[in-house]
Amino acid sequence: MTNLLVVFGATGQQGSSVISKVLEDAELSKAYKVRGLTRDPLKPNAQALVKRGVEVARCDTDDPASVKAVLQGAHTVFAMTVSLYKPGGMEQELAQGKALADEALAAGVKFLVYSSVPSPKKISGGRYPVDSFDVKDKVREYISSLPIKSAFFLPGSFMQNFHTNMAPRPGPDGNPTFWGFVSPETKFPLIEIAGDTGKFVGSILAEPDKYAGKALACSTRCYTMTEMAEIMARSSGKKITYAQIPKDVFAGFLPEASRPTLLNMLSYFEEFGYYGPETEQLVKEAAQTAKGAPTEFEEYLKREPLQLRATQ
């Protein structure tokens, strides 16, 4: 029997990865037909999904009626909520997540997979609140309280961020430098979010009973700050090193509006670990479940080279 899988964020990095995995995997393509949701079904990447045999539907997660309509007939749902960095954004995201879960329950959905993250505030005992993380954990808690079978995909730091906010910046000697205030041995779990979301979620979709009630720490592995700099250097052929600078100096690199949140986030990673004290073990266990080998950071950079603003 083929079940209907509804995928939120179908044209984004996570949703499109899930859809591709289902379409390309021999087992999953027989088990599921896909309905992909997007705000604009007419945009090119949405139409590309149509050409691959995906039913594409419009959905606005701020409109419960819209969500209700697209969940009709769904057996399984992959859901995510987008971080909203604006006044009231966290409250809006929480409302979206709760409404989505409520509508899934009302529609008779049998299995809900939600893309979440750990709660720094909870794990640190309140020392490091990070709203953009903590709100997704609140949605996860809410879903877990409902009488619906669920599982949770918890991705690590995106490798794609090394092309944006984590990209090396010019140093005093003119060489690209990977800046930070945390210890060089601080570890980040990395995931190639556009390519590997489907590998992890695909395993959940293949064996929903096995993963029901579980939250998977989905990353390739943990990398130290020094190791990430060394990998960037090898892949680019440039001299790139990690430079630890005072926290107040690093803060000057950050946008004022998000500065406190980002500083708390990095402090939390350094002191507690991304997923908490057992981060490395949790990542190792989840990586072994993936449907396909997760992408190594060096492999990703060979495919998506860094665009450096300074050279030796």
Label residue 276 left, alpha or beta by phi (over 0 means left) and psi (-120 to 50 means alpha). Answer: left
Instruction: Kindly state whether residue 264 falls inside one of the protein's structural domains.
Output: no
What is the separation of C-alpha 273 from the centre of its chain, rounded to a whole number of angstroms? 17
- How many distinct structural domains can be found in the chain? 1
Q: Of 237, 226, 234, 241, give the one whose Cα is nearest residue 298.
A: 234
Quote the radius of gyration of the chain (alpha carbons, Å).
Answer: 20
What is the separation of C-alpha 282 from the centre of its chain, rounded to a whole number of angstroms? 16
Instruction: Kindly state whether residue 139 falls inside one of the protein's structural domains.
Output: yes
Q: Of 18, 16, 262, give the one whose Cα is nearest residue 151.
A: 18
Instruction: Kindly state whether residue 214 falls inside one of the protein's structural domains.
Output: yes
- Show the tokens assigned to 75: 């057996």
Instruction: Kindly state whether residue 255 falls inside one of the protein's structural domains.
Output: no
Q: What are the beta bridge partners of residue 114?
A: 79, 152
Q: Of 118, 110, 111, give the one whose Cα is nearest residue 286.
A: 118
- Show the tokens assigned to 196: 């590997």
Taking residue 241's Cβ as centre, other Cβ atoms within 10 Å add up to 17
Within 13 Å and on the Cβ side, how many CA atoms surround 186? 21
Each residue's pLDDT, cut to its tens digit, for the chain (312 residues) gives 899 999 999 999 999 999 999 999 999 999 999 999 999 999 999 999 999 999 999 999 999 999 999 999 999 999 999 988 788 889 999 999 999 999 999 999 999 999 999 999 999 999 999 999 999 999 999 999 999 999 999 999 999 999 998 999 999 999 999 999 999 999 999 999 999 999 999 999 999 999 999 999 999 999 999 999 999 999 999 999 999 999 999 999 888 888 999 999 999 999 999 999 999 999 999 999 999 999 999 999 999 999 887 444
Q: What's the domain range around 32?
A: 3-157+191-220+275-294
- Residues present in the chain in total: 312
Calpha distance 37→61 (Å, rounded)? 10
Q: What angle do CA 93, 105, 82 make, to 5 degrees?
A: 20
Instruction: Kindly state whether residue 91 falls inside one of the protein's structural domains.
Output: yes
Calpha distance 128→125 (Å, rounded)? 8
Q: Looking at residue 38, what is its pLDDT? A: 97
What is the separation of C-alpha 177 from the centre of its chain, rounded to a whole number of angstroms? 26
Calpha distance 89→96 (Å, rounded)? 10
244 three-state secondary structure: strand
Report the CATH number at residue 119. Answer: 3.40.50.720
Instruction: Kindly state whether residue 239 falls inside one of the protein's structural domains.
Output: no
Instruction: Kindly state whether residue 67 falls inside one of the protein's structural domains.
Output: yes
Instruction: Kindly state whether residue 53 falls inside one of the protein's structural domains.
Output: yes
Place of tokens 């505030």: 121
Q: What are the beta bridge partners of residue 180?
A: 244
Q: Which strand ranges, in their side-by-side order, compose the sheet holding 3-7?
A: 55-58, 32-38, 3-7, 76-79, 111-115, 149-155, 215-218
